[in-house]
Amino acid sequence: MSKQRDRIKVLSAGIFSLILVLGVARFSYTPLLPIMQHQAGLGVAAAGWLAAINYAGYLSGALIATMISDMVLKDRLYRIGMILAILSTAMMGMTTDFTVWALSRFVAGLSSAAGLLLGSGLILNWLIRHNHRSELGIHFSGIGLGIASAAAAVSLMSYWLNWSQQWFALTALGCLLLVPALRWLPPPDRSALTRTGQKMEDAPPSAAFLRLFTAAYFCAGIGYVVSATFIVAIVDHIPGRAGSGGLVFLVIGLAAAPSCIAWDFIARRIGKLNALIAASVLQIIGIMLPVMADGLVASLVGALLFGGTVMGMVSLVLTMAGQYYPTRPAKMMGKMTLSYGTAQIIGPAITGWLATRFGSYAAGLYLAGGIMIVGTLFLMMLKVVEKREASANLSAPLPDNA
């Protein structure tokens, strides 16, 4: 019973940390974007640049994660990241100065890397070490819960609070989340053995597999970031759907919350790569529906498909990365996220430029959908590489001392 209680507390610490660093510090910017454009004079191109700067911070955090092997240092940086999430949120409501906003978004990006990569690595290491399932679906449900919480909070607060007051209210919410995020995650164990004495050994993938895997994840990053950042503004600017963007974003979060757990179960039945391909195809449909079909229903169905797949893909990829490196889970997680994070810098900047040129963010969705198709082809190629390498391993001669 004590083991199960410890597992629940550790997973809950991860969930609360993700709600803090992603829901409060990072994704609350998405539903607040149109409000800040209306009340604080935030321009279209500037909004795109703030999103890009946020992902630059996230990318910097991912780079740091790839270079750190010491578990104690990772734990310390994770805890610093939680505090930075609070500070970056408060900074957004203090001024209308673009430079301060840019600094806030960069720091929020750093904190989200701390929660998503360092926190996930620490939790995966704890799960493996204590002989629990090395699946992170429950942990990653915090991403969807964070998105849904941000959308619901902004939707409710908009009746009473202006844009800056909402940032301060979100800061207060973040302070409540900070306590379990820090207290319920135990200090890391640096032993090379699990609690039952089994040795933890890394088994990295081949270079060919890693290249294709990284390229596919880059494409998924483009697909994810354009919709996640601009979907509220896109839907609000579609004739007849003004004011519906917040609802669409809420549906994305509600669909994302259970999706990581669901895709864990699906991957157990059909394999992780097949699950990634299926999720990618459904996500393409979800991305394109709001601009290719008329009516709010199409936007909501698209939100369900997008929300129900995007975090599931992140969960599957990062779980696979952590399983290749059980002693240093954040190492490959960080490398994969460098690819994902690069896409998240490029995507918003290009979308902002396209919006300025064509007067709409919708062109960004067409770009995201096209790149996601390429990423799906990369995943299909991975199936071929995996099969070829499995055949080569079976036909390899046994060593002389076998």
pLDDT, position 278 = 95
Asked if residue 231 lies in contact with residue 245, where contact means CB atoms within 8 angstroms, the answer is yes
Topology of domain 2-186+202-389 in CATH is Growth Hormone; Chain: A; (1.20.1250)
Give residue limits of the domains in the chain. 2-186+202-389
User: Residue 229's CB: how many other CB atoms inside 10 A?
Assistant: 28
3-state helix, strand and coil shares in percent for the chain, rounded to the nearest 5: 80, 0, 20
Asked if residue 218 lies in contact with residue 342, where contact means CB atoms within 8 angstroms, the answer is yes
> At 368, is the secondary structure helix, strand, or coil?
helix
Residue located via tokens 């149109």:
34
> At 341, is the secondary structure helix, strand, or coil?
helix
Q: How far apart are CA 216 and CA 219, in angstroms?
A: 5
Q: The whole model's pTM is what?
A: 0.77
The torsion defined by the Cα of 383, 322, 249 and 95, in degrees rounded to 10, comes to -140
pLDDT, position 401 = 44
CA distances from 169 to 130, 180, 264 (A): 38, 19, 34
Asked if residue 86 lies in contact with residue 382, where contact means CB atoms within 8 angstroms, the answer is no
Two tokens at 386? 């995996």
Residues of the chain with pLDDT under 50: 398-402
pLDDT, position 81 = 94
Q: How far apart are CA 376 and CA 379, in angstroms?
A: 5
Beta bridge partners of 193: 199
The residues, ordered by sequence, that sit 6+ positions from 51 with a Cβ below 8 Å of its Cβ are: 29, 105, 225, 229, 230, 348, 352
CA 331 to chain centre: 17
User: Residue 306's CB: how many other CB atoms inside 10 A?
Assistant: 29
Helix ranges (DSSP H) in 19-134: 29-39, 44-67, 71-92, 98-113, 120-129
Two tokens at 279? 């999720």
Beta bridge partners of 199: 193
Which residue in 334, 389, 402 sits closest to 67, CA to CA?
Answer: 334
Which residue in 248, 213, 210 sits closest to 228, CA to CA?
Answer: 248
pLDDT, position 30 = 82
The residues, ordered by sequence, that sit 6+ positions from 254 with a Cβ below 8 Å of its Cβ are: 144, 148, 307
